[in-house]
Chain A
Amino acid sequence: MNQEKQMLLSIRNLRAEVDGKEILKGIDLDVRPGEVHAIMGPNGSGKSTLAHVLAGRDGYDVTGGEVLFEDHDLLGLEPEERAAAGMFLAFQYPVELPGVNNTHFLKEALNAQRRARGESELDSVAFLKLVREKMQLVSMKPELLKRQVNAGFSGGEKKRNEILQMAVFEPKLAVLDETDSGLDIDALRTVSDGVNALRSPDRSVILVTHYQRLLDYIEPDFVHVLADGRIVRSGDKTLAKELEERGYGWLSDGEAA
């Protein structure tokens, strides 16, 4: 890939614990602008932990290593500062916010990010125009905007709502945590189409997934296999095919031998 481009995300020997138990045992990963990386691995390998550590969730103790986002220390930032810097996490289980209107939430969030970056806020008219445009990307029913955030949404609607947020915030890096989980094939296609439409030379994506099937729809530039808190193998998209055929066992065994 393009070596001259500045690195967007650079993870060096990242170690993290949850409740005193080490989950990430030295992760190294480089993501350049525009690249799509898939991180695959069996349950308990640390995939979701990595996603949450990047987003800044409480309860994860980083015990070693560093994460640079456009050459700045990402781990020293609050979650909201990471969002404003251009980092987005699509949740595996999007949170329901009773009583909070979806449009209001989206607008407040976008404007909070814009304020933090020193940009002007969007007024209601400009915002609604933007949202309507972005909603087409994820084929979302307009009435979902009037509802309370994720409350009573179906699994597919919640995931679409995540991708809608990604479309509205236009992050530099989107980490999609098991976005394919719980989706039927139609929803998977819609969500993938949305992500693909958002691919650009300025936007990188990390797909965290257990299954290869998501990669049939969103084609990654790189595939990494995470096992027991380390990346044990990296390759191109053919690695995913290989994993589908052979499972994860052969990699861990190889590591042990």
Chain B
Amino acid sequence: MSTADAPATDIDRVLEAGLARAGQDAANDPLHALRRSGAERVRALGLPERRQETWRYTPVSFLKRAEYRPFTDGPITALQLSDIEDLLLDDHRGARLVFVNGHFAPSLSVTDGGAGLRIASLAEAEPDTFGAEDAAQYRHIFSALNAALALDGALIEVADGAELEHPIEILHIAVGGDEPVIVSPRHALHIGRGAQAGLIERYASLGESVYFDNVSLDVTLGANAELTHQCLQQESPTAQHLVDLDVRLGAGSRYRYTLAALGGDWSRSDVRVRFDGEGASAELNGLMLARDGQLNDVHLDVDHAVPGCTSVETFKSILDGQGRVVFDGHVLVARDAQKTDAALANHNLMLSRSAEVDTKPTLEIFADDVKCSHGTTVGELDKNMLFYLRSRGIPEGAATRMLCQGFAEDILGRFDDPALRARASRLLDERLAPTEE
């Protein structure tokens, strides 16, 4: 754990350690160029400061409280399936890719996910598979840092026209050590033209240690492809978590994303969706929980660059104690993007007056024939509802949790996977319950 006199994280030392670890065999390293470009960008950007709008309410002070180092121990092979049994979804029958501290764990994984599915590990990619990324690709220091420190990740491809019966699961498990570490999985998923697939993305931990899960996930949908993407973030309460999700949608494709961000000391989901072809649709849903001391941030960047696309963004948060939520929902409708349909909503339920929510829904519209709306609410628990439940014999704490579940229902209800939905609902209940003394 960090102490008051612990040294702060030195980004140059982080990069050195990361590159040294990876760079022993630069000639054969498929990620060499990627790492260099990331490192370069990290140095150029430096740590975010409060005056930068996208970081204004999301200070990265955790990096100043402790010295984080890249996780360098290599794959953890000692873990057995029985160790992670509690984390597995009931009745999950598709591919399951388990990453332990950012490294793919074949012995815990199932890679056979049906016809038309190809899965590879980033660590075993052929040399020259990855070139240097264009610097503009890196949205901020952490996406560049992920590239600089990248060691492993899943490369998933669903063939044109394939219809996967079961969703592919990527399960991230953090196994704590004594020192704060940065874990940098880097995944890419491509859904071929007309293909249909599901992705379940999960984050969990064994034990409570300090780690920064700094994830990059690129998703591309070919024309008329369909992806249902469900994400459950149940990181350790001592962890920091950032996902840089980049989605590109081909013409006529359909993308559905549902996020439940319940864990972590500090959590940020950067979701960027770009419409590359006409007639595509994106539905983005999210539930954020911020208990006492927790910060939970969602940044949306939805870019309607082409005409005739639809996006619906619905994000809800529950705040307790001195919890903090940041919602920055930005929807851009370009001049040519006529017939765009966009609806952005953010609803916040404050269980405590010392909690804080900073919400900024923004519609930036340059086309003139569009249907766009946004709405934001911040409210407390309804006293009539609370009394009604109590008058039926339900004690105040349980009544509060029941109403929170009710508030969360229209987000969690969009999890297609029943086991995932039940798990998210149970976690929400547990994390809302008063902590045992």
List A residues at the B interface (Cβ < 8 Å).
55-58, 78-80, 82-84, 88-89, 91, 94-95, 97-100, 105, 108-110, 112-113, 116, 148, 165, 169
Residue of B with least CB distance to A89: B391
B403 touches A97 (CB 8 A): yes
Q: Name A95's contact: one of B388, B395, B409, B410 (CB within 8 Å).
A: B388
Closest 9 CB pairs of A and B: A99-B406, A99-B409, A83-B393, A113-B393, A109-B392, A79-B390, A95-B388, A100-B406, A112-B393
Provide the B408-431 mask, 1 if CB < 8 A to any CB of A, else 0.
Answer: 111000000000000000000000
A91 touches B388 (CB 8 A): yes
A108 touches B402 (CB 8 A): yes
Q: How far is the CA of A204 from the CA of B63 in the complex (A)?
A: 65
Q: A99-B405, A148-B406 are in contact. Are A112 and B388 (CB under 8 A)?
A: no
B390 touches A80 (CB 8 A): yes
B393 touches A97 (CB 8 A): no
B409 touches A112 (CB 8 A): no
**What residues of B have a CB within 8 angstroms of the CB of A165 in the complex?**
392
B408 touches A99 (CB 8 A): yes
B394 touches A112 (CB 8 A): yes
A108 touches B398 (CB 8 A): yes
Q: Is B79 an interface residue (CB 8 A)?
A: no
Pull 18 A–B residue pairs with CB atoms less than 8 Å apart, ordered by A. A78-B390, A78-B396, A79-B387, A79-B391, A80-B395, A83-B393, A95-B384, A95-B387, A95-B388, A98-B409, A100-B403, A105-B392, A108-B394, A109-B392, A109-B394, A110-B393, A112-B392, A113-B392
Secondary structure dominating the interface of B: helix
A97 touches B388 (CB 8 A): yes
B385 touches A97 (CB 8 A): yes
Residue of A with least CB distance to B399: A80
List B residues at the A interface (Cβ < 8 Å).
382-385, 387-396, 398-399, 402-403, 405-410
Q: Name A56's contact: one of B389, B391, B392, B408 (CB within 8 Å).
A: B391
Residue of A with least CB distance to B390: A79
**What residues of A have a CB within 8 angstroms of the CB of B387 in the complex?**
57-58, 79, 95
Residue of B with least CB distance to A151: B406
Residue of A with least CB distance to B383: A58
Q: How far is the CA of A208 from the CA of B403 in the complex (A)?
A: 29
Minimum Cβ distance to chain A for residue B249 (Å)? 30
A95 touches B394 (CB 8 A): no
**What residues of B have a CB within 8 angstroms of the CB of A112 in the complex?**
392-395, 398
Q: How far is the CA of A95 from the CA of B394 in the complex (A)?
A: 15
Q: Name B393's contact: one of A58, A84, A91, A95 (CB within 8 Å).
A: A84
Minimum Cβ distance to chain A for residue B400 (Å)? 12
**What residues of A have a CB within 8 angstroms of the CB of B409 in the complex?**
98-100
B396 touches A80 (CB 8 A): yes
Q: How far is the CA of A97 from the CA of B391 in the complex (A)?
A: 14
B407 touches A99 (CB 8 A): yes
Q: How far is the CA of A1 from the CA of B398 in the complex (A)?
A: 41
B394 touches A99 (CB 8 A): no
Residue of B with least CB distance to A96: B385
Q: How far is the CA of A55 from the CA of B393 in the complex (A)?
A: 11
Instruction: Given contact pairs A98-B409, A113-B392, enumerate 13 new A-B contacts (beta carbons under 8 Å).
Output: A57-B387, A57-B391, A58-B387, A80-B394, A83-B392, A95-B385, A95-B388, A97-B402, A98-B407, A100-B406, A105-B392, A109-B393, A112-B398
- Interface hub of B392, B399, B408, B409 (most chain A Cβ within 10 A): B392
Q: How far is the CA of A110 from the CA of B398 in the complex (A)?
A: 13
Minimum Cβ distance to chain A for residue B207 (Å)? 32
**What residues of B have a CB within 8 angstroms of the CB of A91 in the complex?**
388
**What residues of B have a CB within 8 angstroms of the CB of A108 in the complex?**
394, 398, 402
**What residues of A have a CB within 8 angstroms of the CB of B405 in the complex?**
99-100
**What residues of B have a CB within 8 angstroms of the CB of A80 in the complex?**
390-396, 399
Q: How far is the CA of A165 from the CA of B392 in the complex (A)?
A: 8
A105 touches B402 (CB 8 A): yes
- Interface hub of A79, A88, A91, A112 (most chain B Cβ within 10 A): A79
**What residues of A have a CB within 8 angstroms of the CB of B392 in the complex?**
80, 83, 105, 109, 112-113, 165, 169
Q: How far is the CA of A169 from the CA of B383 in the complex (A)?
A: 23
**What residues of B have a CB within 8 angstroms of the CB of A84 in the complex?**
393
Q: How far is the CA of A37 from the CA of B121 in the complex (A)?
A: 76
Q: How far is the CA of A112 from the CA of B409 in the complex (A)?
A: 22
- Interface hub of B396, B402, B405, B407 (most chain A Cβ within 10 A): B402
Q: How far is the CA of A88 from the CA of B392 in the complex (A)?
A: 7
Minimum Cβ distance to chain B for residue A225 (Å)? 26
Q: How far is the CA of A165 from the CA of B393 in the complex (A)?
A: 11
Q: How far is the CA of A129 from the CA of B51 in the complex (A)?
A: 61
A55 touches B391 (CB 8 A): yes
Q: How far is the CA of A88 from the CA of B388 in the complex (A)?
A: 11
Minimum Cβ distance to chain B for residue A165 (Å)? 7
Q: How far is the CA of A57 from the CA of B408 in the complex (A)?
A: 26
**What residues of A have a CB within 8 angstroms of the CB of B384 in the complex?**
95
**What residues of B have a CB within 8 angstroms of the CB of A109 in the complex?**
389, 392-394
